[in-house]
Amino acid sequence: MASAVENSSKASDRLYAAIGEFLARHRLSVDPAHYAFAHKVLSDPRGPLAAAVARITDGGVRLSSRDIEELGGRAVIGAPATAGGDSAPNPSSPPQLTVVADNTKTQSLVARAQMQVEDFGDTVRAMHADARGFGQDLRASRDAIRDARDARDGSAIDEVVRMASSMLDRVSSAEAKLQEATHEADRLRHELEQARDDARRDPLTGLPNRRAFEDAFAAAVADGANICVAICDVDKFKSVNDRFGHAVGDRVLKAIAEALRMGCDEHLVARFGGEEFVVMFTGLAPADALSTLEGARAAVAAKRYRLRETDAPLGAVTFSAGLTPVEQGDTLGSAMGRADRLLYAAKEDGRNCIQSDW
């Protein structure tokens, strides 16, 4: 009996350790939602959820918030992630305010669009019924005019005028309704386009997000473009958050995002999650891509930040990166897996540097 209890305790310890490794590997914060998701995956390693995670992460790709949501988990937006191998999640760190992503805005837009379509249908059906009734009345009046023509009876003509006036009033009313519905449809179209753009953009930095990067990568591969990809990770970012707070950390991320965007102009820079950014160089030889990224790295390292509230020096903030050319037959997972391994090599080499594989 004691042996069974001991075995059960060891199994629980192994599962607990595996969950910690899972969260660290995917740069997920120690949040109850993330812990529960990892527990579901690891407690049934041959189950469908574990198989789906294995497919997504093939080649070394880490899970994104969107992946977790699509797999039925609750992704925590804005929670602190670990910094590129610099440190593991800290269970003792104070809890942070988190926001669970939802699709309320999208659902509202879809509902409004459905109502708009129904209103269009009702308006068209009403106009069709009016036109059909007007045609029937007009045919009857035509026959009445023909019969009354020799008798010079003006009442039939008066009836046609009355019906025509009535129909014109109904047509004018229907046109006003159609114009109003058209304006509403235009507004909805604009809002849907804005919502689609928001869904592909990181709200903090304004950069494209992981989904936008994945789509752009697939399109570039389909076009046969010459591509290099890089993963950039802010060095010791967790210490910035711990020492100065997340508001300062957010400002640092925005500053580095802008420096990367300016330094890698004409190439796609996206926020991949947490303190990680990705760059897709298109149409550049690997050496030129490295030179461009090195310029951005040097520009970031040369800056000295100060706290806005006190003007106290924050010091230098740097990033490390791994850069690799996309080869024939590469998937996003395989290319990003190589870049990620090179990133870790850069971290081990002292940080604030770029490792490439050519």
The residues near 28 (Cβ < 8 Å, ≥ 6 apart) are 22, 34, 38, 63, 79, 81, 89
How far apart are alpha carbons 307 and 129 in whole angstroms? Answer: 70
Catalytic residue among 21, 214, 275, 294: 275
- Whether 6 is a known active-site residue: answer no
Q: Which residues are catalytic?
A: 275
